[in-house]
Amino acid sequence: AKKKQLTKAVMYDPVMHESVSRDLIIQQELKKVIERDELDFVYQPQIDSNKNWITGVEVLTRWTHPVLGPVSPAEFIPIAETSGMMEKLTRHQLDWCLSRFAEWIKHFSFDGLIAFNISSGLFRNKNFIAYLEQIITDHKIPFDQIELEITENIQLFSHKESVQTLERLRDLGIRVAIDDFGTGYSTLSYLNQFPVDKIKIDKHFTDQIMTDLKGEAILVSIIKLANSLELDVLAEGVETVEQRDFLKMNGCSDMQGYYYFKPLTLEECEQFYYEKVLK
Ligand code: C2E
Ligand code: CA
Ligand code: CA
Ligand code: CA
């Protein structure tokens, strides 16, 4: 009966209430799946296009609701953030993914990275960072195989706690990447002030390759900046061979995108490794 009611609310609410009730429904339903630890995780490979090899995987969350269908993380993550659900979600994600990752290291001698998206609120949460440190240690995973992706945001590094987190992570050897680089109200000055390891250039710039000359010029200058600061640089959302070639030619060999791989299930990742590595 509960399910029927939900369908009705989603399908037949007057238009003016539609988006409000959808957000509320997502919030309530998400809370349940997080409590029950029922979210799925997928892994998108990151490629070094010079070596033509996988150098890491980024963990992304997937959720299919029985009535709503697949809900994009672009929709539910912000709701989870504003309703205080990210700590639990991310802890479950670390528990699950790091125990699998420990097996990859064992079975495939995997020496690449596993990258987690960390919301800025969590990044300055000391309990969370202590938990992270503990669970990596428990699974005996080398700290330098872990990367945390944090979204670029001016406010992030103005919090004392965030800067302390960065310093703690640097001492441990856990890597930090700035996600969606080049979007929003960015300031470049933090790049040489704070210990970050990588910038991930937003898909928005990759999309401008071959279509927007000024956009290309900005992209090339971001790559040069990263290279001159000796930061790793990876381009997101690479979908075509032209984009790949342009990036390689301009000094950005690390990339991620549908051209190489969509996010894969655990089974697909393992299948890939059995075929490529063990045969
Ligand atoms: P993001 O961290 O920038 O992740 C990249 C997004 O681009 C992912 O979307 C990925 O599936 C998609 N993508 C990758 N390559 C391509 C491509 O070649 N073409 C196109 N069109 N898309 C590509 P997704 O999985 O829908 O995630 C959206 C955003 O939601 C992520 O953006 C991230 O900010 C957030 N997110 C997802 N999972 C988590 C999570 O577990 N924790 C946190 N904190 N955020 C998450
Ligand atoms: Ca990311
Ligand atoms: Ca991104
Ligand atoms: Ca993003």
pTM: 0.93
Using only C-alpha atoms, the chain has a radius of gyration, in whole angstroms, of 20
- pLDDT reading at 5 higher than 60: no
Q: Helix, strand or coil for residue 256?
A: coil
For residue 53, report the phi and psi dihedrals to the nearest 5 degrees: -145, 155
Which residue in 219, 179, 222 sits closest to 198, CA to CA? 179
Which pLDDT score, from 0 to 100, does residue 1 have? 40
ipTM above 0.95, yes or no: yes
Are 144 and 174 within 8 A, CB to CB?
A: yes
- pLDDT reading at 31 higher than 60: yes
Ligand 1 neighbours (beta carbon < 6 A) = 44, 60-61, 72-74, 77, 93, 117, 119, 179-180, 237-239, 256-258, 263
Element containing residue 232 per DSSP (H, E): strand 232-235
Q: Tell how far the Cα of 107 is from the centroid of ligand 2, in angstroms.
A: 26
Which pLDDT score, from 0 to 100, does residue 2 have? 45
